[in-house]
Amino acid sequence: MGMYASARGWLEMKFEQRSTAQEIITRHHHELYSGGWAFPTAPFNWTLYLFYGGDVREQELDWLRETVAELAAMPPIDDDGDRPAGLFLITDERAGATQWRIRNGTLDERPAPSLAWLGE
């Protein structure tokens, strides 16, 4: 049957990057797990937060990681050079925890043992 991991996190970006983010998510469509993506229903203030949450089979985490990595690599849209930033927490059925830190166009993956309690 396979093991599951709980994936939850967000990316923050400029509102003008929404259509590019939607294109990336559409291109990486997964029949079952794409439903975990959520944009705010109405924009407010100055930052757009894109969220993901769902329980995913461990062998499908590569799909999610590739999608998040492509979102992270979106080019800046203004002279400030700001790129998407965010944090994802992945916990598994073995009480393991991993964080994906999104910053400066890259996804950095590292253990997050201090956050493993969120998966209990």
What pLDDT, on the 0 to 100 scale, is given for residue 94?
84
pLDDT digits (tens, 9 = 90+) for 31-58: 999 999 999 988 788 899 999 999 999 9
pLDDT digits (tens, 9 = 90+) for 16-33: 999 999 999 999 999 999
Cα separation, 88 vs 90, in Å, equals 7
- CB atoms near residue 97 (< 10 Å): 20
Q: Which amino acid makes up residue 52?
A: Y
- Please choose, from the candidates 65, 76, 66, the residue with its C-alpha nearest in 3D space to the C-alpha of residue 20: 76
pTM of the predicted model as reported, rounded to 2 decimal places? 0.92
Cα separation, 13 vs 85, in Å, equals 7
What pLDDT, on the 0 to 100 scale, is given for residue 13?
95
Is the sign of the CA dihedral 28, 32, 37, 40 positive or negative? positive
Delineate the domains of the chain, giving CATH numbers in brackets. Answer: 4-112 (3.30.70)
